[in-house]
Amino acid sequence: MSKIKILLAESIHPVAQEKLQAEGYVVDLIKHAPSEEEYLKLLPQYQVLGIRSKSELTAKILKQNPHLLAVGAFCIGTNQVDLATATEVGIPTFNAPHSNTRSVAELVVAEMIALSRQLCDRSSMAHRGEWVKSADGSREVRGKTLGIIGYGHIGSQLSILAEAMGMRVVFYDVVKKLPLGNAQPKNKLDELLAAADFVSLHVPETPETKNMISKDQLFKMKKGSFLINASRGTVVNIDDLVLALKENHLGGCAIDVFPVEPASNKESFKSDLQNLKNVILTPHIGGSTEEAQYAIGLEVAESFRKFLQTGTTAGAVNFPNVDLVAKTNVIRIMNVHKNEPGVLGELNGYISEAGANIQAQYLSTDSKIGYLVVDLEMDKAKLSVSQLIDKIQKSTRNIKTHQVF
Ligand code: NAI
């Protein structure tokens, strides 16, 4: 049984606990997000920590717990972790950026149909006792053109689903992407805007995407077309969108993300888009499904397993990435060091003095740290593994060194 203890906070999906326990780790689940003070008391007994979005992993917590081997954010964002400090003290931080891809794509499919049939307005009217049975302005999505802006994980998944419903798909991306199915790339955003009956945004939040859909772009969209934004709130200028809706240039929109969002379910939500015709507003739930939570639990637990058992840091958001498979008949050591000239020579010197033979070495660096994984044959060595690790740990450039478990 491994001695590694893992704490999973904030009601992380129990599948993560099951998976990690099956690997022989001791896993404790807690429901709440501990305060800084509580984390400082809890963490000395754990080597790995899983959180969601409510825990604040401050510099103080991380600096006082440099023994932590890894942190996992069982969500998409990692703003709640002081990543610079985590790197500085040698703690790779993993997340699950793509486990909810399908959930977002499905929401957009639902919204295209709902907008096309004014479903939400009709439902609200029926709830109020108003019976409006009419085909006016209600259309099928079959044969219509969907314009996808940002043809990454979500955009391309949506492309497949839309074509399965008989839609035409055009897309625009700043990076050249392989079109899936019969989707057609557009070289210019304006070409997409002019062609699409539905425009759906799937770009990241960057300086280039801030307000990328403003008055100019909205009025280049086809009259009566629909806008869907389940990407990031800053991508659409809300004042301009309200204008395009009020002037009946757009037939409606579905917005899941907003420039300013309430911090919790206890806060109220205000938007100038409220109470406009055929406008669907949802509280940033694009990726929020039980399936996505399950997939996130599995994805981060698998990142922990691979890191602990092979040293793989692929997918870590703050660490040089190394992707490795487990090896038998070698002793594997992970070392995090300050990225300074001569550090590798120094480390190899300790290994050579110990009489160990280097079977393989994997190194990845960023501007601040180097991450080195070494496979050693130590049958004829003069020192034990722990003695060698002790020596390396005494180097002024060492941040963290330990054996892969
Ligand atoms: P991704 O990184 O796989 O794809 C983004 C694509 O946008 C890439 O192909 C990239 O080349 C392209 N892109 C970047 N800048 C662009 C620009 N200026 N113009 C055109 N294309 C550009 O990301 P993924 O996973 O598909 O996510 C897309 C968005 O969805 C992100 O903003 C993410 O935060 C958001 N999201 C929202 C969720 C929700 O709950 N509503 C849940 C999950 C993701």
- pLDDT tens by residue, the chain, 405 residues: 458 999 999 999 999 999 999 999 999 999 999 999 999 999 999 999 999 989 999 999 999 999 999 999 999 889 899 999 999 999 999 999 999 999 999 999 999 999 999 999 999 999 999 999 999 999 999 999 999 999 999 999 999 999 999 999 999 999 999 999 999 999 999 999 999 999 999 999 999 999 999 999 999 999 999 999 999 999 999 999 999 999 999 999 999 999 999 988 999 999 999 999 999 999 999 999 999 999 999 999 999 999 999 999 999 999 999 999 999 899 999 999 999 999 999 999 999 999 999 999 999 999 999 999 999 999 989 999 999 999 999 999 999 999 987
| Nearest CA, atom 37, ligand 1 | 231
Torsion of CA 35, 40, 45, 46, to 10 degrees: 60
Query: Can 284 be counted among the known catalytic residues?
Result: yes
Do residues 106 and 95 share a domain?
no
Q: What share of the chain is helix, strand, coil (3-state, %, to 5)?
A: 35, 20, 45
CATH of the domain at 15: 3.40.50.720
Query: In which residue are the tokens 């109220």 written?
Result: 268
Domain count, the chain: 3
Looking at 261, 340, 353, 377, which residue is catalytic?
261
Are the CB atoms for 193 and 223 separated by under 8 Å? no
Do residues 76 and 52 share a domain?
yes
Closest CA to 139 of 158, 115, 162, 122: 115
Taking the model in full, what pTM does it have?
0.88
pLDDT the model gives residue 313: 97
Do residues 304 and 229 share a domain?
no
Do residues 190 and 271 share a domain?
yes
pLDDT the model gives residue 3: 82
Cα–Cα distance for residue pair 31/29, rounded to 1 Å: 7
State the pairing for strand pair 369-377/279-281: unpaired
Are the CB atoms for 290 and 130 separated by under 8 Å? no
Cα–Cα distance for residue pair 202/173, rounded to 1 Å: 10
Query: In which residue are the tokens 């009489």 written?
Result: 355
pLDDT the model gives residue 76: 86
pLDDT the model gives residue 399: 97
Do residues 25 and 116 share a domain?
no
Of the residues 299, 318, 337, which one is the last residue of a structural domain? Answer: 318
Closest CA to 96 of 254, 298, 242, 241: 298
Whole-number Å distance, alpha carbon 154 to ligand 1 midpoint, is 7
Looking at 13, 232, 332, 337, which residue is catalytic?
232
Looking at 153, 284, 305, 397, which residue is catalytic?
284
Do residues 228 and 214 share a domain?
yes
For ligand 1, what atom is nearest to the CA of residue 154?
26
Six token digits for residue 241: 């969108």
Query: In which residue are the tokens 């995407």 written?
Result: 209
Do residues 265 and 359 share a domain?
no
pLDDT the model gives residue 1: 42
CATH of the domain at 386: 3.30.70.260
Do residues 371 and 254 share a domain?
no
Q: Domain of 117?
A: 101-281
pLDDT the model gives residue 2: 55
What are the angstrom distances between the C-alpha of 302 and each of 20, 57, 67, 291, 402?
8, 21, 21, 16, 20
Do residues 342 and 225 share a domain?
no
Do residues 234 and 112 share a domain?
yes
For ligand 1, what atom is nearest to the CA of residue 155?
26
Are the CB atoms for 365 and 320 separated by under 8 Å? yes
Whole-number Å distance, alpha carbon 201 to ligand 1 midpoint, is 8
